[in-house]
Amino acid sequence: MRRSGVYIKQPAGYRAFIPTPLPPKPAVKIVGELQNLLSRADMALARLDGVAQMLPNVDLFIAMYVKKEALLSSQIEGTQASLDDLFSYESGDKLENLNDVTEVLNYVKAMNYGLDRLQNLPMSLRLIKEIHALLLKDVRGSERHPGEFKRSQNWIGPPGCTLSEASYVPPPPHEALEDMGALERYFHDKERLPILVDCALIHYQFETIHPFLDGNGRMGRLLITFYLCWKGVLHKPLLYLSYYFKNNRQEYYDRLNMVRTTGNYEQWVDFFLRGVVDIAGASMDTAGQILELQTHHRRLLWEKKISSPIAVGILEQLFYTPTISIARIAEKFNVSYQAASKLVSQLEKVKILRETTGRKRDRRYVYSDYLDILAEGTKI
């Protein structure tokens, strides 16, 4: 049997891949350039974790980053939604692509639910199934048994391809159940490898098993954050690799498949660690830009003499919901519509807010400078 597993012909005539349990044998060789890369990834992750101590409201930053991760991860699976759509929905707008936006919102709910459950429940098949049920609730794929491991054969390939035409056929249901059991045991094994290497291997193994009929990609990307938080490497969920995977989508698929066909785990770990270095650095840059923007606009309110408690409160609210209306401001801050309208005009005049509808009634305003920082890489 090859180091990573073997293709075995099934009774129905097709060949399915049966992975070997983790850890790889012989063990992953962390030498030379891979060792240097691991050191850089460890340092980048430690610096990112330290960002949590610098930010005045780290939970706000995390909330926004979870939304961005949800969007990027869903886009990889073909979801047609944008950050504008997401914030417009939260502001009460009616959307034509509501189903796509709901998929993204489900991802946010699944992420937050999983992180909360990890306070009392360890990494386990039970937790994975609970999270998966949330991911696919009332969206595309909801008819494919959310929260339950597959009971029929699935496969990967171009839309409409048959099982015989598939680019990859994961293990059949009975094998997948055994493989997931082995993966659960690996979660709890005494650590044999550095955490980031383990994380790379776990993501590969989950995607190779493909235990659900749908939603495996999103679930596998969630596992990266859950595992690092569960192991205490991240004290706050600040690392999300979907941006890296999206930008390098074909290479991502090719490298996963290379492990299956050649048994070369090292090239996959190399790719994964480069993603950690890239994304940790980008996340720190984003945090810095947001802090700078927040400081700049607070100062601007003082300079333009519009720094009333409500004006400052609106600015802070915009970091939660960058799309807003006069009516929502009036309701949120318990002021008259006229007073809210005056404040919005002042914020629009100093270019903190920008009107987006062009209408005379029911206008919407966006905190475009902030949205531009968050939206990097999310354009469809």
- Distance of CA 76 to CAs 72, 308, 376, Å? 6, 43, 15
Encoded amino acid at 258, one letter: M
Each residue's pLDDT tens digit, 23-34? 999 999 999 999
- pLDDT for residue 379 is more than 60: no
Q: Which CATH architecture best describes the domain 5-285?
A: Orthogonal Bundle (1.10)
Task: Tokens for 66, please give them.
Answer: 């979870």
Task: List every span in the chain annotated with CATH 1.10.10.10.
Answer: 304-374
> How far, in Å, CA of 48 to CA of 236, rounded?
9
Each residue's pLDDT tens digit, 156-198? 988 888 888 889 999 999 999 999 999 999 999 877 799 999 9
Each residue's pLDDT tens digit, 238-263? 888 988 998 899 999 999 999 999 99
Q: How confident is the model at residue 64 (pLDDT cuts 50, 70, 90)?
A: confident
- pLDDT for residue 144 is more than 80: no
Q: 304-374, which class in CATH?
A: mainly alpha
pLDDT of residue 101: 75
Each residue's pLDDT tens digit, 325-350? 898 889 889 999 999 899 999 999 99
Give the up-direction half-sphere exposure of residue 131: CA atoms within 13 A in the CB hemisphere. Answer: 27
- pLDDT for residue 378 is more than 60: no
Q: How confident is the model at residue 380 (pLDDT cuts 50, 70, 90)?
A: very low
Neighbour-count burial of 336, counting CB atoms closer than 10 A to its CB (0-12 exposed, 13-18 middle, 19+ buried) = exposed
pLDDT of residue 1: 60
Encoded amino acid at 302, one letter: W
> How far, in Å, CA of 255 to CA of 251, rounded?
6
Radius of gyration over every alpha carbon of the chain, rounded to an integer in angstroms: 23
Task: List every span in the chain annotated with CATH 1.10.3290.10.
Answer: 5-285
Mind giving me the DSSP string for 52-73?
HHH-TTHHHHHHHHHHHHHHHH
Q: Percent of the chain scored above 70 by pLDDT? A: 89
SS3 string, 103-133, reads: HHHHHHHHHHHHHHHCCCCCCCHHHHHHHHH
Q: Percent of the chain scored above 90 by pLDDT? A: 46
Sequence-distant (≥ 6) Cβ neighbours of residue 292 within 8 angstroms: none
SS3 at position 98: helix
Q: Give bridge partners of residue 323 from the DSSP assignment.
A: 366
- pLDDT for residue 359 is more than 90: no
Task: Tokens for 145, please give them.
Answer: 């048994």
